[in-house]
Protein backbone atom coordinates (compact mmCIF):
# COMPACT_ATOMS: atom_id res chain seq x y z
CA UNK A 1 0.00 0.00 0.00
CA UNK A 2 1.20 3.48 -0.86
CA UNK A 3 0.13 6.19 1.57
CA UNK A 4 -0.17 9.71 0.20
CA UNK A 5 -0.28 12.34 2.94
CA UNK A 6 -2.43 15.31 1.95
CA UNK A 7 -2.28 18.47 4.08
CA UNK A 8 -5.25 20.68 3.31
CA UNK A 9 -4.40 24.39 3.60
CA UNK A 10 -1.90 24.10 6.46
CA UNK A 11 -1.35 27.44 8.24
CA UNK A 12 2.04 26.97 9.89
CA UNK A 13 5.22 25.87 8.16
CA UNK A 14 6.54 24.36 11.42
CA UNK A 15 3.69 21.87 11.29
CA UNK A 16 4.33 21.01 7.65
CA UNK A 17 8.00 20.38 8.42
CA UNK A 18 7.08 18.30 11.48
CA UNK A 19 4.67 16.18 9.43
CA UNK A 20 7.44 15.58 6.85
CA UNK A 21 9.73 14.37 9.65
CA UNK A 22 7.08 12.06 11.10
CA UNK A 23 6.45 10.68 7.59
CA UNK A 24 10.08 9.77 7.11
CA UNK A 25 10.21 8.26 10.62
CA UNK A 26 7.57 5.81 9.48
CA UNK A 27 8.88 5.20 5.97
CA UNK A 28 6.48 7.48 4.08
CA UNK A 29 7.54 9.86 1.33
CA UNK A 30 4.59 11.14 -0.71
CA UNK A 31 3.54 14.51 0.65
CA UNK A 32 0.94 16.64 -1.10
CA UNK A 33 0.00 20.17 -0.02
CA UNK A 34 -3.12 22.09 -0.93
CA UNK A 35 -2.75 25.90 -0.85
CA UNK A 36 -0.10 25.73 1.86
CA UNK A 37 1.45 28.55 3.86
CA UNK A 38 4.91 29.55 2.70
CA UNK A 39 7.52 27.06 3.84
CA UNK A 40 10.34 29.05 5.39
CA UNK A 41 13.42 28.32 7.49
CA UNK A 42 11.46 27.17 10.53
CA UNK A 43 9.55 24.61 8.50
CA UNK A 44 12.80 23.31 7.06
CA UNK A 45 14.32 23.12 10.53
CA UNK A 46 11.35 21.15 11.88
CA UNK A 47 11.67 18.70 8.98
CA UNK A 48 15.21 18.03 10.21
CA UNK A 49 16.56 15.05 8.25
CA UNK A 50 13.32 14.82 6.27
CA UNK A 51 13.97 17.92 4.19
CA UNK A 52 13.95 15.67 1.14
CA UNK A 53 10.31 14.78 1.83
CA UNK A 54 9.48 18.47 2.14
CA UNK A 55 11.42 19.42 -0.99
CA UNK A 56 9.68 16.70 -3.01
CA UNK A 57 6.20 17.71 -1.81
CA UNK A 58 3.77 18.59 -4.60
CA UNK A 59 1.40 21.53 -4.24
CA UNK A 60 -2.09 21.85 -5.72
CA UNK A 61 -4.85 24.40 -5.56
CA UNK A 62 -7.76 21.96 -5.45
CA UNK A 63 -8.39 18.80 -3.50
CA UNK A 64 -9.65 17.06 -6.63
CA UNK A 65 -6.25 17.50 -8.28
CA UNK A 66 -4.46 16.29 -5.15
CA UNK A 67 -6.55 13.12 -5.13
CA UNK A 68 -5.81 12.12 -8.74
CA UNK A 69 -4.83 8.46 -8.85
CA UNK A 70 -5.83 7.74 -5.24
CA UNK A 71 -7.73 4.47 -4.76
CA UNK A 72 -9.17 5.37 -1.41
CA UNK A 73 -9.58 8.66 0.44
CA UNK A 74 -9.43 8.73 4.23
CA UNK A 75 -10.35 11.92 6.06
CA UNK A 76 -9.26 12.79 9.59
CA UNK A 77 -11.59 14.58 11.94
CA UNK A 78 -11.33 15.72 15.52
CA UNK A 79 -15.05 16.40 15.71
CA UNK A 80 -16.76 14.07 18.11
CA UNK A 81 -20.23 12.69 17.87
CA UNK A 82 -21.60 14.80 20.72
CA UNK A 83 -20.50 18.00 19.00
CA UNK A 84 -21.49 16.70 15.62
CA UNK A 85 -24.98 15.81 16.73
CA UNK A 86 -25.95 19.44 16.41
CA UNK A 87 -24.44 19.49 13.01
CA UNK A 88 -26.88 19.51 10.14
CA UNK A 89 -24.61 17.33 8.07
CA UNK A 90 -23.99 14.69 10.69
CA UNK A 91 -23.75 11.94 8.11
CA UNK A 92 -20.50 13.52 6.93
CA UNK A 93 -18.86 12.74 10.23
CA UNK A 94 -20.13 9.31 11.20
CA UNK A 95 -19.33 6.50 11.35
CA UNK A 96 -15.78 7.26 12.18
CA UNK A 97 -13.05 4.69 12.74
CA UNK A 98 -10.40 4.81 15.42
CA UNK A 99 -6.84 4.59 14.03
CA UNK A 100 -6.46 0.92 14.93
CA UNK A 101 -9.62 -0.01 13.05
CA UNK A 102 -8.38 1.93 10.05
CA UNK A 103 -5.01 0.16 10.22
CA UNK A 104 -6.75 -3.22 10.28
CA UNK A 105 -8.89 -2.29 7.33
CA UNK A 106 -5.92 -1.19 5.26
CA UNK A 107 -3.64 -4.06 6.29
CA UNK A 108 -2.34 -6.07 3.37
CA UNK A 109 -4.14 -3.90 0.82
CA UNK A 110 -2.56 -2.64 -2.35
CA UNK A 111 -3.10 0.66 -4.11
CA UNK A 112 -2.80 4.32 -3.14
CA UNK A 113 -4.56 5.64 -0.04
CA UNK A 114 -4.81 9.42 0.37
CA UNK A 115 -4.87 10.46 4.03
CA UNK A 116 -6.34 13.95 4.40
CA UNK A 117 -5.31 16.16 7.31
CA UNK A 118 -7.18 19.44 7.64
CA UNK A 119 -6.39 22.99 8.69
CA UNK A 120 -4.98 23.59 12.18
CA UNK A 121 -7.95 25.76 13.17
CA UNK A 122 -10.99 24.17 11.60
CA UNK A 123 -10.03 20.84 10.07
CA UNK A 124 -11.71 19.60 6.90
CA UNK A 125 -14.87 21.29 5.68
CA UNK A 126 -18.07 19.59 4.59
CA UNK A 127 -17.17 19.52 0.92
CA UNK A 128 -13.84 17.90 1.69
CA UNK A 129 -15.39 15.36 4.07
CA UNK A 130 -17.87 14.48 1.36
CA UNK A 131 -14.97 13.29 -0.82
CA UNK A 132 -13.75 10.83 1.82
CA UNK A 133 -14.33 7.06 1.60
CA UNK A 134 -13.60 6.61 5.27
CA UNK A 135 -13.14 8.80 8.31
CA UNK A 136 -10.74 8.35 11.16
CA UNK A 137 -10.63 10.14 14.50
CA UNK A 138 -8.08 9.76 17.28
CA UNK A 139 -9.80 9.17 20.64
CA UNK A 140 -8.72 12.04 22.89
CA UNK A 141 -9.68 13.57 26.22
CA UNK A 142 -12.98 15.46 26.19
CA UNK A 143 -11.21 18.19 28.17
CA UNK A 144 -8.84 18.99 25.34
CA UNK A 145 -9.56 17.02 22.18
CA UNK A 146 -7.72 19.28 19.72
CA UNK A 147 -4.35 17.77 18.86
CA UNK A 148 -1.46 19.48 17.16
CA UNK A 149 -1.56 18.66 13.43
CA UNK A 150 1.80 16.90 13.37
CA UNK A 151 0.94 14.93 16.52
CA UNK A 152 -2.21 13.59 14.88
CA UNK A 153 -0.15 12.75 11.82
CA UNK A 154 2.51 10.96 13.87
CA UNK A 155 -0.09 8.88 15.71
CA UNK A 156 -1.77 7.87 12.45
CA UNK A 157 1.51 7.05 10.69
CA UNK A 158 2.60 5.03 13.72
CA UNK A 159 -0.63 3.07 13.81
CA UNK A 160 -0.62 2.36 10.08
CA UNK A 161 3.04 1.33 10.18
CA UNK A 162 2.34 -1.08 13.06
CA UNK A 163 -0.01 -3.17 11.05
CA UNK A 164 2.21 -2.90 8.03
CA UNK A 165 5.19 -4.44 9.75
CA UNK A 166 4.00 -5.91 13.05
CA UNK A 167 7.41 -5.13 14.40
CA UNK A 168 9.25 -6.40 11.29
CA UNK A 169 12.37 -4.43 12.12
CA UNK A 170 11.72 -4.03 15.83
CA UNK A 171 14.12 -5.18 18.50
CA UNK A 172 14.37 -8.87 17.71
CA UNK A 173 15.78 -10.86 20.59
CA UNK A 174 15.98 -14.62 20.93
CA UNK A 175 13.24 -15.67 23.30
CA UNK A 176 13.85 -18.39 25.87
CA UNK A 177 12.98 -21.78 24.41
CA UNK A 178 10.23 -23.89 25.96
CA UNK A 179 12.92 -26.41 26.89
CA UNK A 180 14.97 -23.83 28.80
CA UNK A 181 11.87 -22.56 30.57
CA UNK A 182 10.95 -26.11 31.60
CA UNK A 183 14.46 -26.60 32.99
CA UNK A 184 14.14 -23.32 34.86
CA UNK A 185 10.91 -24.46 36.50
CA UNK A 186 12.44 -27.84 37.39
CA UNK A 187 15.51 -26.25 38.99
CA UNK A 188 13.35 -23.71 40.84
CA UNK A 189 11.31 -26.57 42.28
CA UNK A 190 14.47 -28.36 43.43
CA UNK A 191 15.72 -25.19 45.07
CA UNK A 192 12.43 -24.67 46.86
CA UNK A 193 12.50 -28.21 48.26
CA UNK A 194 16.05 -27.65 49.52
CA UNK A 195 15.16 -24.51 51.45
CA UNK A 196 12.55 -25.88 53.86
CA UNK A 197 9.88 -23.86 52.09
CA UNK A 198 6.57 -24.83 53.75
CA UNK A 199 5.55 -27.98 51.80
CA UNK A 200 1.89 -26.96 51.56
CA UNK A 201 2.95 -23.71 49.89
CA UNK A 202 5.39 -25.15 47.34
CA UNK A 203 2.88 -25.78 44.58
CA UNK A 204 1.44 -22.31 44.95
CA UNK A 205 4.87 -20.68 44.88
CA UNK A 206 5.89 -22.66 41.81
CA UNK A 207 2.76 -21.69 39.93
CA UNK A 208 3.34 -18.08 40.86
CA UNK A 209 6.93 -18.27 39.61
CA UNK A 210 5.77 -19.83 36.38
CA UNK A 211 3.31 -17.00 35.82
CA UNK A 212 5.85 -14.33 36.67
CA UNK A 213 8.47 -15.80 34.34
CA UNK A 214 5.83 -16.29 31.67
CA UNK A 215 4.71 -12.69 31.79
CA UNK A 216 8.30 -11.47 31.76
CA UNK A 217 8.78 -13.17 28.36
CA UNK A 218 12.38 -14.10 29.16
CA UNK A 219 15.09 -14.01 26.56
CA UNK A 220 17.26 -17.10 26.17
CA UNK A 221 20.14 -15.20 27.71
CA UNK A 222 18.12 -14.15 30.74
CA UNK A 223 16.83 -17.67 31.27
CA UNK A 224 20.38 -19.02 31.17
CA UNK A 225 21.54 -16.38 33.65
CA UNK A 226 18.74 -17.34 36.02
CA UNK A 227 19.68 -21.01 35.67
CA UNK A 228 23.27 -20.11 36.54
CA UNK A 229 22.08 -18.18 39.55
CA UNK A 230 19.98 -21.05 40.86
CA UNK A 231 22.89 -23.43 40.35
CA UNK A 232 25.12 -21.15 42.43
CA UNK A 233 22.58 -20.97 45.23
CA UNK A 234 22.00 -24.74 45.29
CA UNK A 235 25.75 -25.36 45.23
CA UNK A 236 26.18 -23.01 48.18
CA UNK A 237 23.51 -24.82 50.18
CA UNK A 238 24.92 -28.26 49.25
CA UNK A 239 28.50 -27.34 50.16
CA UNK A 240 27.48 -26.12 53.57
CA UNK A 241 25.36 -29.21 54.04
CA UNK A 242 28.37 -31.40 53.35
CA UNK A 243 30.60 -29.43 55.71
CA UNK A 244 28.25 -30.05 58.63
CA UNK B 1 -2.76 4.05 37.00
CA UNK B 2 -1.15 7.45 37.29
CA UNK B 3 1.34 8.28 34.55
CA UNK B 4 4.10 10.72 35.47
CA UNK B 5 5.82 12.13 32.39
CA UNK B 6 9.49 12.85 33.09
CA UNK B 7 11.46 14.89 30.54
CA UNK B 8 15.18 14.48 31.18
CA UNK B 9 17.12 17.65 30.33
CA UNK B 10 14.96 18.80 27.40
CA UNK B 11 16.80 21.29 25.18
CA UNK B 12 13.97 23.11 23.41
CA UNK B 13 11.01 24.81 25.09
CA UNK B 14 8.86 24.22 22.01
CA UNK B 15 9.15 20.50 22.61
CA UNK B 16 8.30 20.83 26.30
CA UNK B 17 5.20 22.85 25.42
CA UNK B 18 4.22 20.34 22.73
CA UNK B 19 4.59 17.44 25.15
CA UNK B 20 2.34 19.28 27.64
CA UNK B 21 -0.29 19.68 24.92
CA UNK B 22 -0.11 16.02 23.94
CA UNK B 23 -0.42 15.08 27.61
CA UNK B 24 -3.64 17.04 28.02
CA UNK B 25 -4.96 15.61 24.74
CA UNK B 26 -4.73 12.19 26.36
CA UNK B 27 -5.89 13.15 29.84
CA UNK B 28 -2.48 13.33 31.53
CA UNK B 29 -1.40 16.09 33.88
CA UNK B 30 1.71 15.18 35.89
CA UNK B 31 4.74 16.63 34.14
CA UNK B 32 8.18 16.55 35.74
CA UNK B 33 11.25 18.24 34.23
CA UNK B 34 14.88 17.55 35.05
CA UNK B 35 17.26 20.47 34.43
CA UNK B 36 15.06 21.81 31.62
CA UNK B 37 15.83 24.60 29.19
CA UNK B 38 14.12 27.90 30.03
CA UNK B 39 10.46 27.81 29.09
CA UNK B 40 9.76 30.98 27.14
CA UNK B 41 6.94 32.35 25.00
CA UNK B 42 7.35 29.76 22.25
CA UNK B 43 7.06 26.88 24.71
CA UNK B 44 3.90 28.44 26.13
CA UNK B 45 2.49 28.91 22.63
CA UNK B 46 3.15 25.29 21.72
CA UNK B 47 1.38 24.15 24.90
CA UNK B 48 -1.68 26.00 23.57
CA UNK B 49 -4.62 25.10 25.84
CA UNK B 50 -2.37 22.95 28.01
CA UNK B 51 -0.54 25.85 29.62
CA UNK B 52 -1.93 24.65 32.93
CA UNK B 53 0.01 21.38 32.56
CA UNK B 54 3.17 23.36 31.80
CA UNK B 55 2.62 25.79 34.68
CA UNK B 56 2.08 22.93 37.13
CA UNK B 57 5.20 21.05 35.99
CA UNK B 58 7.70 20.35 38.76
CA UNK B 59 11.43 20.73 38.14
CA UNK B 60 14.23 18.74 39.75
CA UNK B 61 17.97 18.59 39.40
CA UNK B 62 18.34 14.82 39.80
CA UNK B 63 16.49 11.89 38.31
CA UNK B 64 16.35 10.23 41.74
CA UNK B 65 14.30 13.13 43.11
CA UNK B 66 12.01 13.07 40.08
CA UNK B 67 11.32 9.37 40.62
CA UNK B 68 10.30 9.69 44.28
CA UNK B 69 7.08 7.78 44.85
CA UNK B 70 7.10 6.08 41.45
CA UNK B 71 6.27 2.38 41.56
CA UNK B 72 7.63 1.54 38.14
CA UNK B 73 10.11 3.33 35.88
CA UNK B 74 9.79 3.01 32.10
CA UNK B 75 12.58 4.35 29.89
CA UNK B 76 12.20 5.26 26.23
CA UNK B 77 14.98 4.56 23.80
CA UNK B 78 15.40 5.05 20.09
CA UNK B 79 18.52 2.92 19.98
CA UNK B 80 17.93 -0.27 18.05
CA UNK B 81 19.54 -3.61 18.59
CA UNK B 82 21.68 -3.39 15.46
CA UNK B 83 23.22 -0.17 16.67
CA UNK B 84 23.32 -1.36 20.22
CA UNK B 85 25.09 -4.59 19.34
CA UNK B 86 28.30 -2.65 19.10
CA UNK B 87 27.53 -1.07 22.41
CA UNK B 88 29.53 -2.35 25.34
CA UNK B 89 26.56 -2.00 27.64
CA UNK B 90 24.09 -3.77 25.42
CA UNK B 91 22.23 -5.27 28.35
CA UNK B 92 21.08 -1.78 29.30
CA UNK B 93 19.05 -1.56 26.11
CA UNK B 94 17.49 -4.98 25.62
CA UNK B 95 14.99 -6.44 25.69
CA UNK B 96 12.83 -3.54 24.67
CA UNK B 97 9.03 -3.48 24.37
CA UNK B 98 7.08 -1.85 21.57
CA UNK B 99 4.47 0.68 22.79
CA UNK B 100 1.57 -1.74 22.37
CA UNK B 101 3.27 -4.36 24.51
CA UNK B 102 3.94 -1.74 27.16
CA UNK B 103 0.32 -0.63 27.07
CA UNK B 104 -0.83 -4.22 27.55
CA UNK B 105 1.53 -4.70 30.45
CA UNK B 106 0.30 -1.58 32.23
CA UNK B 107 -3.39 -2.13 31.50
CA UNK B 108 -5.53 -2.31 34.60
CA UNK B 109 -2.61 -1.70 36.96
CA UNK B 110 -2.68 0.73 39.84
CA UNK B 111 0.17 2.86 41.12
CA UNK B 112 2.45 5.52 39.66
CA UNK B 113 4.41 4.81 36.49
CA UNK B 114 7.21 7.23 35.58
CA UNK B 115 7.74 7.46 31.81
CA UNK B 116 11.20 8.83 31.06
CA UNK B 117 11.85 10.71 27.82
CA UNK B 118 15.46 11.68 27.19
CA UNK B 119 17.30 14.58 25.61
CA UNK B 120 16.51 15.52 22.01
CA UNK B 121 20.09 14.88 20.88
CA UNK B 122 21.23 11.83 22.81
CA UNK B 123 18.31 10.34 24.74
CA UNK B 124 18.83 8.72 28.13
CA UNK B 125 22.34 7.88 29.28
CA UNK B 126 23.51 4.55 30.74
CA UNK B 127 23.06 5.63 34.36
CA UNK B 128 19.48 6.69 33.62
CA UNK B 129 18.71 3.49 31.70
CA UNK B 130 20.02 1.47 34.64
CA UNK B 131 17.24 2.94 36.79
CA UNK B 132 14.51 1.69 34.44
CA UNK B 133 12.34 -1.33 35.17
CA UNK B 134 11.20 -1.59 31.55
CA UNK B 135 12.24 -0.12 28.24
CA UNK B 136 10.05 0.90 25.35
CA UNK B 137 11.02 1.84 21.80
CA UNK B 138 8.77 2.98 18.95
CA UNK B 139 9.41 0.92 15.80
CA UNK B 140 10.49 3.38 13.14
CA UNK B 141 12.06 3.35 9.69
CA UNK B 142 15.72 2.38 9.63
CA UNK B 143 16.26 5.27 7.21
CA UNK B 144 15.30 7.86 9.79
CA UNK B 145 14.61 6.41 13.20
CA UNK B 146 15.02 9.61 15.24
CA UNK B 147 11.60 11.00 16.10
CA UNK B 148 10.83 14.45 17.40
CA UNK B 149 10.53 14.29 21.21
CA UNK B 150 6.91 15.42 21.32
CA UNK B 151 5.97 13.02 18.51
CA UNK B 152 7.38 10.09 20.48
CA UNK B 153 5.50 11.34 23.51
CA UNK B 154 2.23 11.67 21.58
CA UNK B 155 2.52 8.15 20.18
CA UNK B 156 3.20 6.69 23.64
CA UNK B 157 0.38 8.66 25.31
CA UNK B 158 -1.99 7.60 22.53
CA UNK B 159 -1.05 3.96 22.87
CA UNK B 160 -1.31 3.97 26.68
CA UNK B 161 -4.65 5.80 26.55
CA UNK B 162 -6.03 3.19 24.14
CA UNK B 163 -5.49 0.34 26.53
CA UNK B 164 -6.55 2.40 29.53
CA UNK B 165 -9.96 2.96 28.00
CA UNK B 166 -10.29 -0.57 26.62
CA UNK B 167 -9.99 -2.06 30.09
CA UNK B 168 -11.49 0.80 32.05
CA UNK B 169 -13.97 -1.52 33.69
CA UNK B 170 -11.70 -4.56 33.76
CA UNK B 171 -10.43 -6.01 37.02
CA UNK B 172 -7.84 -3.88 38.77
CA UNK B 173 -4.92 -5.61 40.44
CA UNK B 174 -2.73 -4.07 43.11
CA UNK B 175 0.75 -3.61 41.62
CA UNK B 176 3.80 -4.16 43.78
CA UNK B 177 4.73 -0.82 45.30
CA UNK B 178 8.00 0.88 44.41
CA UNK B 179 9.04 0.34 48.03
CA UNK B 180 8.44 -3.41 47.90
CA UNK B 181 10.29 -3.67 44.59
CA UNK B 182 13.24 -1.77 46.03
CA UNK B 183 13.29 -4.17 48.99
CA UNK B 184 13.18 -7.09 46.59
CA UNK B 185 16.18 -5.75 44.71
CA UNK B 186 18.06 -5.16 47.96
CA UNK B 187 17.40 -8.69 49.24
CA UNK B 188 18.29 -10.21 45.86
CA UNK B 189 21.62 -8.38 46.00
CA UNK B 190 22.29 -9.70 49.51
CA UNK B 191 21.46 -13.22 48.38
CA UNK B 192 23.77 -12.93 45.39
CA UNK B 193 26.63 -11.80 47.58
CA UNK B 194 26.05 -14.75 49.91
CA UNK B 195 26.25 -17.31 47.12
CA UNK B 196 29.76 -16.66 45.79
CA UNK B 197 28.27 -15.33 42.58
CA UNK B 198 31.24 -14.03 40.51
CA UNK B 199 31.68 -10.47 41.83
CA UNK B 200 32.25 -8.98 38.37
CA UNK B 201 28.93 -10.40 37.23
CA UNK B 202 26.82 -9.22 40.18
CA UNK B 203 25.87 -5.82 38.75
CA UNK B 204 24.90 -7.35 35.45
CA UNK B 205 22.80 -10.07 37.12
CA UNK B 206 21.06 -7.49 39.31
CA UNK B 207 20.19 -5.26 36.36
CA UNK B 208 18.85 -8.27 34.48
CA UNK B 209 16.75 -9.26 37.51
CA UNK B 210 15.40 -5.72 37.76
CA UNK B 211 14.32 -5.80 34.13
CA UNK B 212 12.81 -9.29 34.39
CA UNK B 213 10.81 -8.33 37.48
CA UNK B 214 9.85 -5.04 35.84
CA UNK B 215 8.48 -6.73 32.75
CA UNK B 216 6.72 -9.34 34.85
CA UNK B 217 4.58 -6.54 36.38
CA UNK B 218 4.58 -8.14 39.82
CA UNK B 219 1.55 -7.82 42.00
CA UNK B 220 2.09 -6.85 45.62
CA UNK B 221 1.26 -10.41 46.64
CA UNK B 222 3.80 -11.91 44.24
CA UNK B 223 6.50 -9.51 45.36
CA UNK B 224 5.84 -10.48 48.98
CA UNK B 225 5.97 -14.17 48.10
CA UNK B 226 9.32 -13.68 46.36
CA UNK B 227 10.61 -11.80 49.41
CA UNK B 228 9.52 -14.72 51.59
CA UNK B 229 11.27 -17.13 49.28
CA UNK B 230 14.54 -15.19 49.36
CA UNK B 231 14.31 -15.00 53.15
CA UNK B 232 13.93 -18.78 53.32
CA UNK B 233 16.93 -19.34 51.06
CA UNK B 234 19.11 -16.88 52.95
CA UNK B 235 18.03 -18.43 56.27
CA UNK B 236 18.95 -21.87 54.95
CA UNK B 237 22.40 -20.69 53.91
CA UNK B 238 22.95 -18.87 57.21
CA UNK B 239 21.84 -21.84 59.36
CA UNK B 240 24.18 -24.19 57.60
CA UNK B 241 26.95 -21.64 57.94
CA UNK B 242 26.40 -21.56 61.72
CA UNK B 243 26.28 -25.33 62.01
CA UNK B 244 29.72 -25.69 60.45
Does the pLDDT at position B73 exceed 90?
yes
- Please, where are the H alpha helices in A89-219? 99-106, 126-129, 149-165, 178-194, 199-215
Does the pLDDT at position A171 exceed 50?
no
Least confident of A111-125, B32-46, B147-161: A111-125
Query: pLDDT averaged over chain B?
Result: 88
pLDDT digits (tens, 9 = 90+) for A13-71: 999 999 999 999 999 999 999 999 999 999 999 999 999 999 999 999 999 999 998 88
Give A-chain residues touching B23 at CB under 8 angstroms. none
d(CA A41, CA A202): 67
Does the pLDDT at position B70 exceed 80?
yes
Distance from CA of A243 to the nearest CA of B (A): 6
pLDDT digits (tens, 9 = 90+) for A97-120: 899 988 988 887 777 899 999 999
Is the complex ipTM more than 0.90?
no
Q: Which of B79, B80, B158 to mutate to probe the A interface, most A CBs <10 Å?
A: B158
Closest residue in chain A to residue B81, using alpha carbons only: A171
- Higher local confidence (pLDDT), A187 or B164: A187
Window 157-196 of B: residues touching A by CB (8 A cutoff) are 158, 161-162, 165, 191-192, 194-196
d(CA B209, CA B203): 10
> Quick count: other Cβ atoms within 10 Å of Cβ A90?
12
Q: How far is CA A14 from CA A33, B40, B65, B76, in A?
A: 14, 17, 35, 25
Task: Give the mean pLDDT of A227-233.
Answer: 93
pLDDT digits (tens, 9 = 90+) for A197-207: 888 888 888 87
Please tell me which of the candidates A140, A148, A208 has its beta carbon nearest to residue B26. A140
Please tell me which of the candidates B140, B145, B225 has its beta carbon nearest to residue A208. B225
Kindly report the pTM of this predicted structure. Answer: 0.80
Q: If DSSP codes are grouped into helix, strand and coil, which group holds residue A77?
A: coil
The b-or-e profile of B46-74 (16+ CB within 10 A means b, else e) is bbbebbebbeebeebeebeebbeebbbbb
Would you call A12 an interface residue with chain B, using a CB distance cutoff of 8 Å? no
Residue ranges with strand state E in chain A? 2-8, 30-34, 58-60, 72-76, 112-117, 134-136
Strand order in the sheet with A58-60: A58-60, A30-34, A2-8, A112-117, A72-76, A134-136
d(CA A182, CA A201): 20
pLDDT digits (tens, 9 = 90+) for B119-153: 999 999 989 998 899 999 999 999 999 999 999 99
Amino acid sequence: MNLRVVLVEPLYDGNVGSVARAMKNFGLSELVLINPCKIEDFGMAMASHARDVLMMARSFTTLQDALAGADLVVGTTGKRLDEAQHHLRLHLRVPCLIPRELAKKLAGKEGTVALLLGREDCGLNSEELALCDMLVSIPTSINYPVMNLSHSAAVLFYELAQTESECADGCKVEMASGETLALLREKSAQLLRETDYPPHKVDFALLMLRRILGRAELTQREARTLLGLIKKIRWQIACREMRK
